Structure 1
Amino acid sequence: MRHTLPITPQFYVTAPQPCPYLADRLERKLFTALQGEGAERLNNSLSQQGFRRSQNVLYRPSCSDCSACLSARIDVSAFRPSKSQKRTVKRNEHLERRATSPWATDDQFELFRRYLDTRHADGGMADMDVFEFAAMIEETPIRSRVVEYSDARTGNLTAVSLTDVLDDGLSMVYSFYDPHQPQSSLGTYMILDHIEIAREAGLPYVYLGYWVPGSSKMGYKAKFSGLEIYYKRRWQKVKNPRDFDGMSHHPLSTDPIAEQVANIQLPDIHPTKG
């Protein structure tokens, strides 16, 4: 009889490259493969420790002299919409939500290209073609959904979020929207709607990716009440976003790689016996 031994995740570090959020800084990531029958458990566990998913990889920033990228999530029970956010919901009442299996479509890719060309023409994803886009959407070993928002008046696809369903919440892996509707605040609207989806499903959190104090690209995340960040190996409530400005740029702010890996809590990788 053949026995398959469980495989312990192996962690690796990327080579330094220019940071997309802060000028004159280098970015480095700690990552591991997401595969096998333990993929769901691993994704749930590492997401709760500040990791994010990209296709079949889980990663977390591990820069040598900076720890400004802070994994962020919203505590659904503590969230209270601001007056501005209520107006955003009102402005987008004409949008219809549709959650589907992770399958890429031509309409999605056309919207994605318009979004990149307008908002992130010099970003790391600027050269993605239709096949790479399909891989981003479809290559997922866990429970994922594509949440589409279409204009009920025209039928046009207006916004899309690739969303993972975790044990304790929704993780917005990647979102894009019509860049020619800045007055609609579509990025904010999608987060607000995911908070509502999580509330309806009884899930406590909505994971937003990384908040980077001092980065104009990521500053909007601090506008949501109930925000928590993963800092010093635990989730902490953000009472005043300014408390985090500049505090993580010290050269000793990041633990050595070996120490980081040693402190990662891995789930039980043995399959449950029936």
Structure 2
Amino acid sequence: MSDLKTLHFYATPEHKCSYLEDHIAQTLFVDPHAVISTEAYSELSDLGFRRSGKHIYRPHCQHCQACISVRIPIPQFKLSRSQRRVLNKNSDLKVRRLKPVFTQEYYDLYAEYIEARHADGDMYPPDPEQFNSFLVEGNQKTEFLEFRDGTGRLLAIAVVDFLTHGLSAIYTFHSPGEQHRSLGSLAILKEIEMCQSLNLPFLYLGYWVSECRKMRYKTLFRPIEMLLDNQWIKIDQP
């Protein structure tokens, strides 16, 4: 097992930014051959790193600091009125914790979601190998949260990693035809409940970019902490 003192890091060449048009990005990766313990992964998360498949990374742009790591401090979290409404209108759903696996049902929902919501992104077009490498084949302790309605129809999957002091929300995909349910927000609320039940103090939500419309939902969960100048700062007000 590697710890932070023995890990090697590699910077990519500059490439097109996934979040901001007309921006150039650079990414710092942990050595993909290193065996990363949960403890080391947790420390890396505190430093702003994320996981995608078997890769652990963070933005490493020379002239831009737009990507800000955010997390929810669970003991201080307070439900808003709109979040209570989301929970109430989804009270009919059944949520189960399962090991990450590939199934045709899961992949079909994933493909439908990518094609409807992210056809302009670097995850388009979806394919089964991409699904496996991104969501199933990581080297950390991971679970799928499966959301089904009363008929058994699959509506959403939320993917979470376990840290020593929290959960990391890796990805959520859901039925594009169920917008009235606010399934993305529901997934975060259920991850918060999961942290509460496991007595874990933080839920890591990845990166927030103020100019990226698709990320604005993250700051609706209050209070939220942002990693600014290598320190986690709590933000209480919008």
Q: Give the alignment's TM-score, normalised by structure 2.
A: 0.94
Higher Cα Rg, which structure: 1
Letter in 2 for 1:134: N
Note if contact 1:50-1:230 (Cα within 8 Å) is conserved in structure 2: yes
1:171 aligns with 2:183: no
**1:223 aligned to 2:220?**
yes
| 2:118 aligned partner | 120
The alpha-carbon distance between structure 1 residues 240 and 21, as it changes in their structure 2 partners (threshold 3 A), is: farther
Q: Name the aligned partner's letter for residue 11 of structure 1.
A: F
- Shift >6 Å, 4+ stretches: 4-7
Which residue identity does 1:104 align to in structure 2? F
Separation in 1, partners of 2:18, 2:135: 22
Instruction: Report if the CA contact (8 A) 1:177-1:187 is conserved.
Output: yes
- Give the root-mean-square deviation of aligned CA atoms: 1.8
Distance 1:135 1:23, change over 3 A: closer
Aligned-partner SS, 2:152: coil
Residue of 119, 135, 155 corresponding to 2:133? 135
- 1:201 to 2:227 alignment: no
**Aligned amino acid, residue 162 of structure 2:** V
Task: Answer yes or no: is 1:75 the counterpart of 2:84.
Answer: no
Q: Distance in 1 between matches of 2:57 and 2:119?
A: 24
Per-residue deviation, 1:139: 1.4
What per-residue deviation string (whole Å, max 9, x for no partner) do you get for residues 162-182 of structure 1? 110111111111111111111
Indicate if the aligned counterparts of 2:114 and 2:126 stay in contact, CA closer than 8 A: no
TM-aligned CA deviation for residue 69 of structure 1? 0.6
Letter in 1 for 2:173: F
For 2:2 and 2:23, locate their aligned partners in 1 and report how far apart those are by CA, in whole Å.
Answer: 41
**Alignment counterpart, residue 31 of structure 2, candidates 19, 33, 37:** 33
Question: 1:84-123 residue pairs with structure 2 within 5 A?
Answer: 84-123=82-121
User: What is the rounded CA distance, in whole Å, between the counterparts of 1:18 and 1:37 in structure 2?
Assistant: 29
How far apart are residue 97 of structure 1 and its match? 0.7
Letter in 2 for 1:23: E
Distance in 1, Cα, partners of 2:58 & 2:121: 19
SS at match of 1:132: helix
Instruction: Describe the shift of the 1:147–1:34 C-alpha distance in structure 2 as closer, same or farther (beyond 3 A).
Output: farther
Tell me by how many angstroms 1:34 deviates.
Answer: 5.2
In structure 2, C-alpha distance between the alignment counterparts of 1:34 and 1:160, rounded to whole Å: 26
Is 1:210 equivalent to 2:207 in the alignment?
Answer: yes
Partner of 1:189: 186
Choose from 58, 78, 81 the match for 2:56: 58
Secondary structure class of the residue paired with 2:207: strand
Contact 2:210/2:216 (8 A) holds in 1:
yes
Task: Assess if the C-alpha contact under 8 Å between 1:54 and 1:136 holds in 2.
Answer: yes
Q: Distance in 1 between matches of 2:82 and 2:39?
A: 37
In 2: Cα distance, 1:93 partner to 1:190 partner? 13
Q: Distance in 2 between matches of 1:226 and 1:240?
A: 7
Name the counterpart of 1:253: none
1:272 counterpart residue number: none
Aligned-partner residue type, residue 148 of structure 1: E
The verdict on how the C-alpha distance between 1:115 and 1:233 changes in structure 2, with shifts beyond 3 A counting, is: same
Instruction: Give 1:188 deviation, angstroms.
Output: 0.4
Aligned residues: 237
Q: Measure how far apart 1:114 and its partner are.
A: 0.7
Q: Is the 8 A contact 2:114 2:125 kept in 1?
A: no
* 2:185 partner amino acid: T
Cα contact 1:70–1:212 (8 A) shared by 2: yes
Structure 2: distance between partners of 1:111 and 1:123: 17
Deviation of residue 93 (structure 1)? 0.8
Distance in 2 (CA, whole Å) between partners of 1:94 and 1:44 is: 34
1:264 alignment partner in structure 2: none
Give the % identical residues: 36
Structure 1 residues 107, 207: CA separation in 2 closer, same or farther (over 3 Å shift)?
Answer: same
